[in-house]
């Protein structure tokens, strides 16, 4: 008798919690507008944040904290990124429905879900097999059908499906990953944290123009787990 209203109530709270998370992200964007060069993110990105249940990508014990604007542990020494960072990186990718996206660092799959809300086809690579499997299960449970998964080293990209309109790297690269730049389409863009672990990392945007010229723009100081180098 109690189950039904309790479940409904919890679902309602999740929707309210996501709305206040969006408000929190918008506030932090305004506070960091000097870096971002804008005071507001694309409303489509905020709609994707509203649409994706972040709690579904976390262990049960962390679900109560799912809608705080904080990174959280996902095991294996890795973290689900802070929602503000997910929103800022996604916004910088300028995604449209017809685009192909490569993601390095599937992790929990939360960022993958946001990408799948906004673009056409998502290709995502994760080095820790157990994380990839959990993410695949969580994303399938949410009904996403436009994602391809690979377990391996993302430094090499996924040349079979290149070129990509957008590439997102969710772990900090020590230097610019050349293979990923090669796999960017002309007119495409990559967003990645660049710099040593524990040192100064910068969120970078890399644009490849219509004739293949590369333009790098520093966006924001950040703190990410390292992109594991290929061994």
**From the CB of 63, what's the least distance to ligand SAH, in Å?**
15
Report whether 39 contacts 33 (CB < 8 A): yes
Applying CB under 6 A, does 171 fall inside the site for ligand SAH?
A: yes
Among 53, 83, 154, 195, binds ligand SAH (CB under 6 A): 154
How far is the C-alpha of 47 from the C-alpha of 51, rounded, in Å?
A: 6
Q: What is the DSSP letter of 173?
A: B
What backbone torsions phi and psi does residue 227 show, to the nearest 5 degrees?
-75, 120
Beta-strand relationship, 147-151 and 184-194: unpaired
How far is the C-alpha of 165 from the C-alpha of 120, rounded, in Å?
A: 10
Among 90, 99, 136, 155, binds ligand SAH (CB under 6 A): 155
Residue span 109-148 as binding mask against ligand SAH, x where in contact by CB under 6 A, dash where not? -xx-------------xxxx--x-----------------
* Active-site residue (options: 81, 108, 132, 230): 81
Give the residue with the Cβ less far from ligand SAH, 79 or 201. Answer: 79
Q: Please choose, from the candidates 29, 91, 79, the residue with its C-alpha nearest in 3D space to the C-alpha of residue 54.
A: 79
**From the CB of 225, what's the least distance to ligand SAH, in Å?**
5
Q: In this chain, which stretch among 7-15, 104-112, 191-199, 205-213 interacts with ligand SAH, using CB under 6 A?
A: 104-112
Element holding 89 (H helix, E strand): helix 83-93
**What is the number of the residue whose Cβ is closest to ligand SAH?**
107
Q: Does the active-site annotation cover 47? A: no
**From the CB of 131, what's the least distance to ligand SAH, in Å?**
5
Ranges of beta strands (E only) in the chain are 72-75, 78-80, 100-104, 121-126, 147-151, 164-169, 184-194, 201-208, 214-222
Q: Which residues are catalytic?
A: 81
Q: Which residues sit at the interface with ligand SAH, rule CB under 6 A? A: 74, 78-81, 104-105, 107-108, 110-111, 125-128, 131, 153-155, 170-171, 225, 227-228
């Amino acid at each position: 008798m109690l189950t039904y209203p309790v479940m409904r109530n919890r679902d309602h709270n999740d929707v309210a919690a996501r709305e206040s998370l969006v408000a929190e992200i918008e506030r932090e964007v305004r506070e960091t507008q000097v870096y971002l060069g804008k005071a507001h993110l694309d409303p489509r990105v905020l709609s994707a944040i509203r649409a994706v249940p972040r709690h579904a990508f976390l262990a049960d014990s962390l679900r109560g904290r799912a809608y705080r604007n904080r990174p959280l542990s996902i095991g294996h020494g890795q973290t689900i990124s802070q929602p503000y960072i997910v929103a800022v990186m996604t916004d910088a990718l300028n995604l449209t429905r017809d685009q192909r996206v490569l993601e390095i660092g599937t992790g929990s799959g939360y960022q993958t879900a946001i990408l799948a809300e906004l673009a056409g086809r998502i290709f995502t690579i994760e080095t820790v097999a157990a994380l990839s499997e959990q993410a695949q299960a969580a994303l399938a449970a949410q009904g996403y059908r436009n994602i391809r998964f690979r377990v391996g080293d993302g430094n090499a990209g996924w040349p079979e499906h290149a070129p990509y309109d957008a590439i997102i790297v969710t772990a900090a690269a020590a230097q610019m990953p050349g293979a990923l730049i090669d796999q960017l389409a002309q007119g495409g863009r990559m967003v990645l944290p660049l710099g040593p672990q524990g040192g100064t990392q910068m969120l970078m945007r890399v644009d490849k123009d219509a004739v293949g010229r590369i333009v790098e723009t520093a966006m924001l100081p950040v703190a990410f787990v390292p992109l594991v180098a290929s061994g």
